[in-house]
Amino acid sequence: MTNDASVYSRDGNVARVRYVRSSIRDAIEPYGGDALDMVTVRYTPRLADVMPDGVADAHIGAPTWSGYVAFDHADTSAGDLRVRRALAHAIDREAVSGAMPINLVVATGGIVPPALQGHTPDIALRFDPALARELLGEAEPPHGLAVACLDDDLPLLEPVIASWRDVLSLDIEIRTWSLAQVATMPPPRQIAPIYFTGWLPGYADPEYFLRLLFQSDSRTNEGGFASPEFDDLIELARQERSDRGRLDLFHAADRMAVVDRVAAIPLVYGRSVAMVKPWVQGWWEFGKSSASFADLVVDPSSPRA
C-alpha cells in the first residue's frame, strides 16, 4: 500500500491497492516479512479459509458465517429424514472441536450464526449414539454413501465421518475438490449427496439464511429441501410487523429446519479474521461487508508507506 492524501477527497490516505491471491498458509511468511500489509480470510458457500493458531496481528471478529453439512434431498438415502436425523445424532461435537482453527467455532445452535439477531442457541441435535442407531435401523439401509468437501476443509469433516463410521457402521466415501476447481466445479450435490458448505450474510438478518437456503422456491435452495410448513413460517415472518414477533417466527423456522426436518446439520460458525499490520488503521468487517480501502489510514512513517 502507498499513501497519498492529495489524489481524492476521502477519509483514508490509501492511493493504491495491490491484491495477491494466495492461501492463508502461503501468505503467512510474506506477511511476516512485511511484503503484505493485510491478509484476509475468505468465506463463500464453496470455501472457507482456515486460519492457523498463533498468527501475528490477528483481528478476530464476530461469528457471522455458518458452515454446515448439507444434503441432496432428492437422493434416496440423504432424502430420508430418519437417515438425516441419525447422522445428526451421531456427530460427536467434542471431537469436532479438537479440529477447530482460530477462525471457526463448533456450532451448537441453528443455521443463523451467533452474531446475527435471530440466532437460536443450543438447538443442534445432541450426540446420542443409541438413538442414532435406532433411527438408522428404521430406514432403508444406506449403501455407498459419499461425502464431499473442499480438500482444505477435510480436517473439519474427518471427526464427523469417523463418528458416522464408528457409531453407525457406515461405509462412507470421501470426495474432495481443490481450490483451483472452485470456479468451474458443478454444484456439490452432483459430487456427493452429503457435502460441507457454508453461507454468510449479505445483510444482517435471519431471513438471509432461512429463506434463501431453505424456502422451496428460493433459487439458492441448493439441496432442494421442501416443506410447506416451513414455507408458511417464512412467509408469516416476512409479513410480521412486530420486531419481536418476526424474530420469534424465524426462531421457529430455524428449529424446524435444524431439529424437526434436519434440512441441514450446523457444524461450525466462522469468525471474520484478518491479519493487519499495526501501521494500517480502520479495518473492520461483518459478513459480506467490510471497510473500504479508501477509508484506511496508513501511517506515513511506516516502511510500507
In eight-state DSSP terms, residue 205 is S
Q: Helix or strand or coil: residue 283?
A: coil
Q: Helix or strand or coil: residue 175?
A: strand
Handedness of CA 111, 72, 176, 41 (dihedral sign): negative
Give residue for cell 490509501: 14
Estimate the crossing angle of helix 228-239 against helix 243-255, to 10 degrees: 160
pLDDT in tens, 10-62: 678 888 889 888 878 888 888 888 899 888 887 776 667 777 776 778 888 88
pLDDT in tens, 212-253: 999 999 999 999 999 999 999 999 999 999 999 999 999 999
Measure the CA–CA gap between 85 and 95, rounded to whole angstroms.
19
Q: Helix or strand or coil: residue 267?
A: strand
Please tell me the pTM assigned to this model. 0.87
Question: β-strand 289-290 against 297-298: which pairing, if any?
Answer: unpaired
Q: Helix or strand or coil: residue 199?
A: strand
High-pLDDT (> 70) share of the chain, %:
94
- Residue 4: its pLDDT value, please? 53
C-alpha cell at 266: 450446523
Between the CA of residue 220 and those of 122, 146, 198, what are the distances in Å? 26, 22, 12
**What are residue 266's DSSP bridge partners?**
68
Structural domains in the chain, sorted by start:
2-61+272-298 (no CATH), 63-201+262-270 (3.10.105.10)
pLDDT in tens, 69-119: 999 999 999 999 999 999 999 999 999 998 888 889 999 999 999 999 999
Estimate the crossing angle of helix 154-168 against helix 81-89, to 10 degrees: 110
- Residue 114: its pLDDT value, please? 96
Q: Which of 153-157, 228-232, 268-272 has the highest mean pLDDT?
A: 228-232
Is the CB of residue 176 less than 8 Å from the CB of residue 149? yes
